Structures are given as C-alpha cells and as structure tokens.
Amino acid sequence: RNLKKYFPIKRGLFSRVVGHVKAVDDVSFGVREGETFGLVGESGCGKSTLGRVMLNLKSATAGEVRFEGRNIHALGPREMRELREEMQIIFQDPMGSLNPRFLVRDLIGEPLKLHTKLSSAAIDDRVVQLMELVGLDATRRNRYPHEFSGGQRQRIGIARAIALEPKFIVADEAVSALDVSVQSQVLNLMMKLQEELGLTYLFIAHGLNDVRHISNRIGVMYLGKMVEVADTDALFAKPLHPYTQVLLSAIPQPTLRGKRERIVLQGDVPSPANPPSGCRFHTRCPFAQERCRAEEPALLEAAPGRQVACHFPLA
Ligand code: SF4
Ligand code: MG
C-alpha cells in the first residue's frame, strides 16, 4: 500500500545527496493467495525493486507491505526470520546467485541448515527429495553448479527456494536467461510446483508474452508506477492503458485476423530521478493531451477487477 522506494543519488567527496531515484513511487496492489501475478515493464521501471521490497530484502522508503495481514517492515528480527521461511526469491541468473564453491547438496540444503534443527543426514534426505521434485538427478548432488546446464541450475535455484516450503515466491526474470525450449520446461515445473505446494508467485518479466501463460493477473509498470492491473485474458483481449497497448503490440500475432500493428515508442525512457510531470508516460504517449502534462492520473477501477491509471483510457 502506497509503497515507495527511493534511492539517494550521491555526489562528490562527502557523498552529498543531490536527488533521488524514485524506483517505486506510490504503488498499491495485492497478490492473492495461490495465484501468479505477472509484473511487467521495461528495464528500470522498478519491478525488481518492488519485488525485493515486498520480501523485505530492501527496506521501504514509505508505505507498507502486508503479508497475511502483518506489516512486514514493522516486524522484529525474530519474527522476520520466521517470515523469511514463507517468502523466497528465484533470481534470473542462477550462476550469479549460486555460490560456485558450494556443492549442489550444500546450496539446496543451506536454508534447511539455517532455519531448521534437522541433522545432516535428514537434510541430505530432504535434498534428495527436493532434487527429485524439481527433476534433477539426486546422485549428482556432490557436484558444483558449473557442472550443470543453465536450465538445471535454475532448477537448483528453485529447489533451494522451496526447501523451507514457502507460501510466496518472487521469481525475478527466472527464465529470461534460458533458451526458449528450456524456458517452457522450467515454467511447467513452476506451475506443477505451484499446484502441488500451493505456492503464490509474483512473476517478474520484461514483456507481456513472458508472463501470459503462467499469470492469472498482470500488473504493468512504467517508471516506478503501476499503470494497469487486470486479469490476464482481459488484458490481452483489450488493454486499457496506452503503454499496455504498446507492450502488447510488440508480440508477434500470426492470427487469421492479421497482425496487430507494432507501435514503436518515440524517445527514450525518462530518468526515474527526474520523471515527467503529470502522467509519467506523457512524453512518449501517442494519445497525450494537455491535461496529461499537468495532472497525474491515479490508478482507478475501470471495470470489476480492473484498474488503470490514465486520463483517457482506450475504449
Ligand atoms: Fe497517455 Fe495521458 Fe493516458 Fe498518460 S494519462 S497514458 S499521457 S493518455
Ligand atoms: Mg530487473
């Protein structure tokens, strides 16, 4: 609710604060238990930062994150440690997030070692079970991550993330670095695990196509703001925000009714340190009018379960 994350911009010998990058700027939304919420937007729109603030891996500048009703940024260290078990993250680059000097056995077993009182033998049993659950050959647990392929390393990351039986997982570009064929295998695995373990996902990706098949609902971000939230089918059938329409037009559509025309945005993404006045999208929006420059549109309900932040939503 009203979540903000600003990063100070520091200059000079004494690190004087000369401004702030408004990575997440007053975002309110909810993720429902058991769903996959797809979060999309260009690089630098704040989606990864939002995911990290939601897990309390980064503090919030303002606003609050409630997990099952509790404001997580107000918890003490002990409560947060307990909550940590419920909320996990899967990163884009398994090689960067898995310590190369650790055996796979220890990488997957580490959260169990830190958060449970299980014996080494019991942890090893769990590691075997976890590896089998994510489709890895458990006899290879005494090997190092570099001895696995990219897709297998992402499975290691997933096994590690589910080791403590979390409820909520943020998948930050979890399949973006993988080959297309491997992407769908990992996505299928994530959907299977969701069903079996009752997981809730925040699935962060660059484009709408990347989140379409896994998401129940989708949120679109632009320059630190949530500009549209809708059910996946409704969003694809009819985007209401001009920026969503742009993202949708980037997906090739070989349908009977012909191709959707690709809309190419003019100009660069403005700096989140100095966002445009009014609607932040007005410098690139094909439909911008005078009001857009002056007045910031709020994220408002446009139809049941559908929200859009635009003065002139597409009809
Ligand atoms: Fe475009 Fe105006 Fe809507 Fe912003 S408020 S998206 S500039 S039409
Ligand atoms: Mg990112």
Instruction: Kindly report the number of other CB atoms within 10 A of residue 192's CB atom.
Output: 13
Residues in the chain: 315
pLDDT at 267: 77
Q: Model's pTM, two decimal places?
A: 0.94
Give the ligand at the shortest distance from the Cα of 287. Answer: 1
Residue among 289, 293, 308 whose CB has most ligand 1 atoms within 8 A, to mutate: 289
Distance 124 CA to ligand 1 centre (A): 55
CA distance 81 to 179: 35
Distance 161 CA to ligand 2 centre (A): 18
Strand 300-303 and strand 306-308: pairing?
A: antiparallel
User: Which atom of ligand 1 is closest in space to residue 280's alpha carbon?
Assistant: 4
The answer to whether the CB of 276 falls within 8 A of the CB of 282 is yes
Residues near ligand 1 with C-beta < 6 Å? 241-242, 279, 281-282, 285, 287-288, 292, 297, 310-312
The answer to whether the CB of 3 falls within 8 A of the CB of 62 is yes
The token pair at 17 is 């604060």
Distance 173 CA to ligand 2 centre (A): 7
Name the closest-CA residue to atom 6, ligand 1: 310
Distance 116 CA to ligand 1 centre (A): 51
pLDDT at 137: 97
Mean pLDDT by 10 residues, the chain (315 residues): 96 92 96 97 94 95 95 92 93 80 96 95 98 97 95 94 96 90 93 96 94 96 97 96 93 63 80 93 94 97 95 93
Query: What burial class does residue 140 get, using C-beta atoms within 10 Å of its C-beta: 0-12 exposed, 13-18 middle, 19+ buried?
Result: middle
The token pair at 266 is 């003019």
Instruction: Kindly report the number of other CB atoms within 10 A of residue 159's CB atom.
Output: 25
Please name the CATH architecture into which domain 3-86+166-240 falls. Answer: 3-Layer(aba) Sandwich (3.40)
Name the closest-CA residue to atom 3, ligand 1: 310
Give the ligand at the shortest distance from the Cα of 170. Answer: 2
pLDDT at 264: 80
CA distance 159 to 182: 17
The token pair at 85 is 């078990």
Here the ipTM equals 0.96
